Amino acid sequence: MTARKVRHLHTAIRDDIGDLITHRPLPGPSIDYLDPWLFLNHHGPQVYRENNTGLPFGPHPHRGFETVTFILDGSLAHSDSDDHQSIIEAGGVQWMTAGRGLVHSEISPEAFRREGGRMEILQLWINLPAELKMTEPRYTGLQADELVQVELDEGRGHMTLIAGDFDQQGSTFRGPIETLTPTFMSVITISEGSLLHLPVPEDHEIFCYVVRGNIMISEQAIRPCHLIEFETQGDCVEIRGSGDATLLFGHAPRLKEPMVSHGPFVMNTREEIEQAVSDYRAGHFGGLTAD
């Protein structure tokens, strides 16, 4: 296997939303788009007091892509105009395909607003190819015990497998999310001295974001809140642990298509964006009232 080299490190910028601590590596000053990865918001970590107002993401629309939300700490209440509702607790994940369009809300559940507690949540946006942008919306919310757990490097690392297949020592592990495109997604934790070799198809773009701790790739030290952009040559990623660390690790085919974004809409042309805005204003995405 040939390990991919680091092309560039992108530092997450601090961009708080009210009192919600937020870091954003993508898009940022040094990168607009990492095909097909569109956007990542890293909220927290922080501690909410009792009787707080919680997360501020009331009803808002999306079209043309998917959102993946990782609840590392705390809890998240989801509802949308396609009649999906859930409360996902710490360690869980929700995967939403906006497709042709829907309105959704992501707020803190009533119990969290009343009692407070620790919160750390990440949301990743993944672009859809042109032929799937107007697909029917769908949603899957999974608790921590519904995800697939894989031991790595004889216990020095651990993978929570969300989507895609992972082969190890003659066994194939399969993530529970059925994706529209061949997307691999996981949360990985490693300890000091660990060494991981993670396979990646050569035509896939890697998404690797360091949430906590420090790692080494290609003899380069990488600190928290950094997105790693890799060279395209190579069929694996080699990661060394220089302490306890947590990272998002995924890969997906490059779409190699025009991309036009406008707030919560991501399409292929400006005309399609204008149509999305018109459809939303006309009520074609459905309605939703936040709790």
Superfamily for domain range 6-253: Jelly Rolls (2.60.120.10)
Report the 10 Å Cβ neighbour count for 165: 12
3-class state of residue 184 by DSSP: strand
Residue 210 has pLDDT above 90, yes or no: yes
Residue 198 has pLDDT above 70, yes or no: yes
Q: What pLDDT score was predicted for residue 289?
A: 55
Cα separation of 34 and 57, whole Å?
Answer: 25
Tell me, rounded to whole angstroms, the distance of Cα 187 from its chain centroid. 10
Q: What pLDDT score was predicted for residue 234?
A: 95
Across the beta sheet with 6-11, what order do the strands follow? Answer: 6-11, 226-230, 204-212, 245-253, 184-190, 157-163, 148-152
Handedness of CA 219, 154, 92, 20 (dihedral sign): negative
pLDDT level of residue 59 (50, 70, 90 thresholds):
very high
Cα separation of 49 and 39, whole Å?
Answer: 29
Residue 13 has pLDDT above 80, yes or no: yes
Q: Which residues carry a binding-site annotation?
A: 60, 62, 104, 106
Which element (helix H / strand E) includes 180? none
DSSP 131: G
Cα separation of 182 and 22, whole Å?
Answer: 29
Cα separation of 127 and 26, whole Å?
Answer: 13
**Whether 69 contacts 42, CB under 8 Å:** no
- Compute the chain's Rg from CA coordinates: 19
pLDDT level of residue 219 (50, 70, 90 thresholds):
confident
pLDDT level of residue 291 (50, 70, 90 thresholds):
very low
Give which of 232, 206, 230 is closest to 220, Cα–Cα.
Answer: 230
pLDDT tens-digit readout, 248-276: 999 999 999 999 999 999 999 999 999 99
In the chain, where the domains are located: 6-253
Which element (helix H / strand E) includes 207? strand 204-212
Average pLDDT over residues 207-211: 98
DSSP 49: P
Task: Detail the DSSP E strand segments found in 34-176.
Answer: 37-48, 57-62, 65-73, 75-80, 85-89, 93-97, 102-107, 117-127, 138-142, 148-152, 157-163, 165-168, 171-174
Average pLDDT over residues 170-178: 95
Cα separation of 12 and 234, whole Å?
Answer: 26
User: pLDDT averaged over the chain?
Assistant: 96
Q: Which residues carry a binding-site annotation for Fe cation?
A: 60, 62, 104, 106
Q: What pLDDT score was predicted for residue 70?
A: 98
Q: What pLDDT score was predicted for residue 290?
A: 40
Task: Report which of residues 288 and 207 the model is more confident about.
Answer: 207
Residue 236 has pLDDT above 70, yes or no: yes
pLDDT tens-digit readout, 111-169: 999 999 999 999 999 999 999 999 999 999 999 999 999 999 999 999 999 999 999 88
Burial class (CB in 10 A: 0-12, 13-18, 19+), 73: middle
